[in-house]
Homo-oligomer: A and B are copies of this chain.
Amino acid sequence: MENHEKPHFGYIYPRPAVTTDCVIFGFDMTEELLKVLLIERGIEPFKGRYALPGGFIKIEAKTNEYGLVVEERNESLLECAKRELKEETGFDVQNIYELGTWSTPGRDPRCITITDAYYALVTIQPVRGGDDAADAKWVPLYQVLNTIKNLPEGMRFLAFDHDEIITAAHIRLQQQLCFEPLAFKLLPKRFSMSTLQKLYEAILEKNFDRRNFARKMLDSGILDVFPTESRNINYQLNLEKYEEFKRTGRLSNLIF
């Protein structure tokens, strides 16, 4: 895209370039902070800025007997998002959700590019020996959002329109959390009730009463209880009960 090589794929009508970007949320249990995974851009445009991981959709194309371009193999946008994530950050993510498209003319200075944004939830391992992927960094979400909020009009923190995407992803995560126990996707298999509560508080930016929170969670019946050697209790999501809970439509009980 950056060189002047002669283009070799033609279409009757011009087409926009298509990318996916992904907002990856992780909960850092030691710092009790909700974080996002950002990539420092190594090339122009926006070289040196942080950006969401993502990239162009992959299409295998050739020209047929009539000189028309025929696409032979390709991927869905979801597959594209997962592939780019794996390539750029090493993460293999199942919990990935579509957020929406961004397509304002001019959002990419190189060419007309529309992006389909996704958000994903991953477990950050308690001990991380630095970041696996080159240039990928876990950044506290509140830092990013505050920076964005306090920028003077017209200025941007992240590359492209990623400020807007990350802001929208946070709002969406908050909304979805009210209906689906998404939070468990951000935790290891077993966790304490207070960790779960801290996670909810980090996402929703609210504090809850310890007893009410625990009761609501336990009453829902989706948690299995595991005593530990100490007096503390650990919990684990019971997937069957969760599915049943979902079916019987009692999910609104989890709204705060």
Q: Which residues does A use to contact B, with CB under 8 Å?
A: 1, 4-18, 56-57, 59-61, 66-71, 73-78, 98, 100-101, 103-105, 111-112, 114, 116, 252, 255
Bound Cα distance from A70 to B14, whole angstroms: 10
Q: A255 to B178, alpha carbons, bound, how many Å?
A: 13
Selected A-B contacts with CB under 8 Å, 20 pairs = A4-B66, A6-B66, A7-B67, A7-B68, A13-B59, A14-B59, A14-B69, A14-B71, A15-B15, A15-B18, A16-B57, A16-B59, A16-B71, A59-B112, A74-B112, A75-B105, A77-B114, A100-B100, A101-B116, A252-B255
Provide the residues of chain B in CB contact with A70, threshold 8 Å.
Answer: 111
Cβ B13 vs Cβ A11 within 8 A: no
A17 to B74, CA, bound (A): 12
Which residues from chain B contact A4 at a C-beta distance below 8 Å? 66-68
Q: Which residue of B lies closest to A18 (CB)?
A: B16
Name which of A16, A66, A100, A111 has the most chain B CB atoms within 10 A of its CB: A16
Tell me how far the C-beta of A75 lies from the nearest C-beta in chain B, rounded to whole angstroms: 7
Copies of chain A in the complex: 2
CB-CB nearest in chain B for A15: B15
- CB contacts (< 8 Å) of A69 on chain B: these are 7, 14, 111
Known: A70-B111, A101-B116. 19 other contacts (CB 8 A): A6-B66, A6-B67, A7-B10, A7-B67, A8-B12, A9-B11, A10-B10, A10-B11, A11-B17, A14-B59, A14-B60, A15-B16, A15-B18, A71-B111, A71-B112, A74-B105, A77-B101, A77-B103, A114-B116
Q: Are B12 and A9 in contact (CB under 8 A)?
A: yes
Which of B18, B59, B105 is close to A18, meaning CB atoms less than 8 Å apart? Answer: B18
Selected contact of A101 from candidates B6, B75, B101, CB within 8 Å: B101
Contacts of A13 in B (CB 8 A): 1, 9, 17, 56, 59
Bound-state Cα–Cα, A75 to B6, Å? 26
Q: Closest Cβ of chain B: how far from A153's Cβ, in Å?
A: 21
CB distance from A56 to the nearest CB of B (A): 6
Residues of B contacting A60 in the complex (Cβ-Cβ under 8 angstroms): 14
Q: How far is the CB of A128 from chain B (nearest CB, A)?
A: 33
In the A-B complex, list the 7 residue pairs whose CB atoms are closest, starting with the nearest.
Answer: A14-B61, A7-B10, A10-B10, A4-B66, A71-B112, A15-B15, A9-B14
Q: How far is the CA of A59 from the CA of B111 in the complex (A)?
A: 11
Min CB distance A68 to B, Å, is 6
CA distance A235 to B100 in the complex (A): 35
